[in-house]
Every structure is written in C-alpha cells, then in structure tokens.
C-alpha cells in the first residue's frame, strides 16, 4: 500500500476509534455508532484496493461483512428508553453482531496472514473492548446507554 494512503488510513482509523471510545464512555449512542459506522468504510476501501482475481472471494466477503456492520451501526436520531423492550433487546443483539464482526476481523488480521497491518487489528480489538464495556455496563447497572 502507498505510504500516504497508509498514513491516511492510520490517522482516520485512530480518530474513529477514539470517537467510538468517547461515545462509549459518555454513553452517547450516536457518537458510538457514528465511530463504528465511519470506521467500517476503511476495511471496505482497503479491501477494494487490495482486490485481485486470485483472492477475489475473500475480498468480497470482507467487503460485504463490513457493509453489514455499516447497516447495523447506522446512526440515527431515534431515541428510545428502557420501557421499549423490543428496541432494548434488539440493541443488545446488534451490539453482539458488531462484537462478532470485529472479533472476526481481529482473527482475520492476526491469525490468517491477511497481509493487513497489525495496527488495524488493534483498532478492531479496541472497538471490541468498547462494545464489551457497554454490554457490561448495561448489564451491571441495569440501565440502558441511551441518550
């Protein structure tokens, strides 16, 4: 990868991971989901740039997985509280899906010789930790992280 593009991906990824962490710590659903939503563009762009005929299926699979993550993390202005049981249960399932997608990305980067720089794997791991933080926080005090 071109060194300039690598720096752009590194800086943008770090900024979006920090946005995700800030959203998790401040319990801001919109900031948290915005960080994950915009971060999803990076693997899509990276896999599109790395696309070749030899490894086409894996590139396309990763692209579709992160398109799915984008759809799941799409930030919106809809607010709901703990009294809306369906939305609360659905948000837990969405968080679990985002957690699984990013765990799979960590495994893909670190264990499968994907050719992706390790720092991007660390970004996915930090996003996983932010999601776990919210899940534990939500289970711990019984309150939803819905502002």
Tell me, yes or no, whether 147 lies in a domain. Answer: no
Q: Is the pLDDT of residue 88 over 50?
A: yes
Q: State pLDDT tens for residues 94-113.
A: 999 999 999 999 999 999 87
pLDDT score recorded for residue 68: 95
The band of 8, judged by pLDDT with boundaries at 50, 70 and 90, is very high
Is residue 76 assigned to a domain?
Answer: yes
Q: Is residue 10 part of a domain?
A: yes
Instruction: Give the distance, in angstroms, between the CA of residue 126 and the centroid of all CA atoms in the same chain.
Output: 9
Into how many domains does the chain fold?
Answer: 1
Query: Is 23 exposed, middle or buried, given 0-12, 13-18 or 19+ CB atoms closer than 10 A?
Result: buried
Confirm whether 73 is domain-assigned. Answer: yes
Q: Report the alpha-carbon distance of residue 32 to residue 131 in Å, rounded.
A: 9
Burial label for 123, CB within 10 Å (0-12, 13-18, 19+), is: buried
Do the domain assignments include residue 135? yes
- Dump pLDDT digits (tens) for 9-44: 999 999 999 999 999 999 888 999 999 999 999 999
Give me the pLDDT at residue 54, please: 67
Q: What is the pLDDT, as a whole number, of residue 146?
A: 46
Residue 134 belongs to some domain of the structure: yes
Close Cβ partners of 99 (under 8 Å, ≥ 6 residues apart): 128, 131, 132, 135
Q: Is residue 94 part of a domain?
A: yes
Residues 6+ apart with CB under 8 A from 44: 63, 66, 67, 70
CA 27 to chain CA centroid, nearest Å: 16
User: Of the candidates 137, 102, 136, which has an alpha carbon nearest to the alpha carbon of residue 17?
Assistant: 102
CA distance 7 to 5: 5
**pLDDT tens-digit map of 44-54:** 998 888 776 66
Residues of the domain holding 111: 3-141
Domain-located, residue 28: yes
């Amino acid at each position: 990868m071109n060194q300039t593009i690598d720096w752009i991906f590194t800086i943008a990824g770090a900024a979006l991971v920090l946005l995700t962490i800030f959203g998790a710590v401040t319990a801001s659903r919109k900031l948290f989901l915005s960080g994950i939503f915009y971060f999803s563009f990076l693997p899509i762009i990276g896999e599109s740039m790395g696309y070749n005929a030899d490894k086409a299926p894996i590139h396309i699979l990763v692209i579709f997985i992160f398109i799915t993550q984008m759809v799941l993390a799409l930030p919106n202005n809809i607010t709901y509280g703990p009294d809306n049981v369906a939305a609360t249960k659905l948000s837990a399932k969405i968080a679990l899906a985002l957690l699984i997608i990013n765990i799979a990305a960590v495994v893909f980067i670190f264990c499968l010789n994907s050719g992706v720089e390790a720092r991007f794997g660390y970004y996915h791991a930090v996003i996983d930790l932010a999601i776990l933080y919210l899940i534990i926080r939500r289970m711990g005090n019984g309150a939803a992280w819905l502002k």
